[in-house]
Amino acid sequence: MDVSRLRPLERRIVRWAQEGVPHDEIGRRFRRGPDFVEQVIMLASLPDRHAGPDAAGRELRPLERRILDWRAAGASHAEIAPRFRRSESFVARVEELARYKLDAR
């Protein structure tokens, strides 16, 4: 397993498990149980479970998708902003970033 492609939490748990640290001890270090540790190790071994440069920033966050969907439906920034308890300028910035991400694909 290539641990360099994992998230920091997954990287540390997998490394300690490979070094022979018992799962209950790893769980104690993270204030979790051994079941949590086993689940992280299992999920980290799945294909396409990485936070490397290929995955970073490529997908839109749920917030960005929702704002783009509402804007496509004709909603204004002023109509969307109260749904997130944010300002109109915040919604505009999120929309701009989301469009930038889509254009960079």
In a shared domain, residues 38 and 8: yes
Q: Which pTM value belongs to this model? A: 0.48
Residue 52: inside a domain, yes or no? Answer: no
**Count of domains forming the chain:** 2
- 25 is a domain residue: yes
Residue 39 has pLDDT above 60, yes or no: yes
Output the DSSP codes for 20-73. Answer: T--HHHHHHHTT--HHHHHHHHHHHTSTT---STTTTTTSPPHHHHHHHHHHHT
Q: What are the tens digits of pLDDT across the range 16-37?
A: 999 999 999 999 999 999 999 9
> Does residue 87 belong to any structural domain of this protein?
yes
Within this chain, do residues 68 and 98 fall inside the same structural domain, yes or no?
yes
Domain containing 33 equals 3-44
Are the CB atoms for 81 and 91 separated by under 8 Å?
Answer: yes
Asked, for residue 84, whether it belongs to a domain, the answer is yes
The predicted-structure confidence for 43-86, as pLDDT tens digits, reads as follows 888 876 555 444 444 588 899 999 999 999 999 999 999 999 99
Residue 53: inside a domain: no
| Assigned domain for 49 exists | no
10 and 39 both lie in a single domain: yes
CA distance 26 to 55: 27
Residue 57 lies in a domain: no
